[in-house]
Amino acid sequence: MNQPRIGDVFGELLRDELAVRTGVGPRPLAGGRLPRPIVEIIERDDGLINGAPAAHYLAGPEDWPDHDHRALARVRGRILDVGVGGGRIALELQGRGHDVTGLDISPGALEVARRWGVRRLVRGTVDEHAGAGQRYDTFLLLGNNLGLIEGRERAPGFLAALARMAAPGAQVIAHGSNPYGTTDPVHVNYHERNRRRGRLGGQLRLRLRYRDAATEWFDYLVCSPEELTGLVGGTPWRLADVDDADRPYYLATLRLRADD
Ligand SMILES: C[S@@+](CC[C@H](N)C(=O)[O-])C[C@H]1O[C@@H](n2cnc3c(N)ncnc32)[C@H](O)[C@@H]1O
C-alpha cells in the first residue's frame, strides 16, 4: 500500500478553498463537474480521525466566533500574526489600519494569504523570525494556535523566541481550548495515556491529511489555563488574563514580567 505523500497540507487545502470561493483555478470536482467540499482531516496517534471544513480559514468577521472579535479588540501597536494561515485575521486588522505581519511555515498558506490581500508576510518559525531584528507589541496566536507551544519541552523556547521580538509592554493573545471538560472515553483515555508517558494530557500527536498529502507527525497542545500557568512559569512572560466566556475555548493574554 502506498503511504501518503508528505506535503504542504495547509497550503494545498487553503489553495483549493480559495479556488472554491473565487471560482478561479482548479479545485476538486466530483466526476470532473460538481464541487466537492474542502475538508481538513486531522489524524491523532491513537487512530482518532476528525474532519473539519476548511471554509473557516478564509471566513470574514461576520462568520467568526465571538472570541476572535474580543481578541482583536485587545490588539495594539505592531502585530505579528503567528501561523497566519489564509490571512483572515491579518486581513481584517490591515483593513482597520493596523501594522500587521503574518508569519507561517507553509509556503502555500502564505501564497493564499498574499492573494487574499495580506501585504506583509514572512515565511518561517518564530525562532527564525526572531533573528530578523523586528519588534512587535502584540503577538496573535489565533485559530487555536496556542497549540504551537506543543508541550513542556517546546514551550520555553517558543515563548523565549517571542520575547526576543517583544517591544517593551508587549502582549501575547492566544486562543486555546481546555480539553478536560469531556467525559468521552476516547478522549479521557487518550489524556490518561499521555500522562502515563510523561506528557501533558492534551499534548496531541497529530498529522494532517488532505487528498493524497499528509504532514509529518507533530505535537499540538490543548491545555487548561492552570497547565498554561505552569508552562509560562520560568519564561519572560506571565499569564495576565484568561477570558473563558466561550468555554471550552479561552483567550490567554501573556505580558512580559519585565514590565511588572
Ligand atoms: C490552525 S491554522 C490557524 C490559521 C489562522 N491563525 C486562523 O486563525 O485562521 C495553523 C497555521 O499555523 C501554521 N503553522 C504551523 N506550525 C507553525 C510554526 N511552527 N510556525 C509558524 N506557523 C506554523 C500552519 O501552517 C497554519 O497555517
Shortest-distance atom of ligand 1 to CA 81: 6
- The pLDDT score that the predictor gives to residue 221 is 98
Q: What class is the 5-259 domain?
A: alpha beta
**DSSP-assigned beta bridge partners for residue 254:** 172, 239
Per-residue pLDDT tens for 94-117? 999 999 999 999 999 999 999 999
- Nearest Cα neighbor of 73 from 61, 84, 55, 63 is 61
Pocket probe for ligand 1: among 9, 50, 128, 148, the residue whose CB has the most ligand atoms within 8 Å is: 148
154 pocket-lining for ligand 1 (C-beta < 6 Å):
no
Q: What does the pLDDT average to over 111-132?
A: 97
For ligand 1, atom 27, which residue shows the shortest CA distance? 85
Residue 33 CA, ligand 1 centroid: distance in Å: 31
Q: In angstroms, what CA-CA distances link 39 with 6, 21, 83?
A: 17, 14, 19
Question: Which residue is listed with cell 497549540?
Answer: 147
Q: Which amino acid is at 127?
A: D
Question: Which residue is listed with cell 474542502?
Answer: 38
- The pLDDT score that the predictor gives to residue 192 is 98
206 pocket-lining for ligand 1 (C-beta < 6 Å):
no
- Whether this prediction's pTM lies above 0.95 is answered by yes
122 pocket-lining for ligand 1 (C-beta < 6 Å):
no
What is the distance between the terminal CA atoms of the chain, rounded to a whole angstrom? 58
121 pocket-lining for ligand 1 (C-beta < 6 Å):
no
112 pocket-lining for ligand 1 (C-beta < 6 Å):
no
144 pocket-lining for ligand 1 (C-beta < 6 Å):
yes
Residue 84 CA, ligand 1 centroid: distance in Å: 6
Parse the chain into domains and list their residue ranges: 5-259
85 pocket-lining for ligand 1 (C-beta < 6 Å):
yes
**Rounded distance, CA 153 to CA 250, Å?**
22
Is a pLDDT exceeding 90 seen at residue 208? Answer: yes
Are the C-beta atoms of 86 and 102 separated by less than 8 Å?
Answer: no
For ligand 1, atom 1, which residue shows the shortest CA distance? 143
What's the pLDDT band for 2 if we cut at 50, 70, 90? Answer: confident
- Nearest Cα neighbor of 70 from 254, 260, 243 is 243
For ligand 1, atom 24, which residue shows the shortest CA distance? 83
Is a pLDDT exceeding 90 seen at residue 35? Answer: no
- The pLDDT score that the predictor gives to residue 1 is 74
Q: What does the pLDDT average to over 148-160?
A: 98
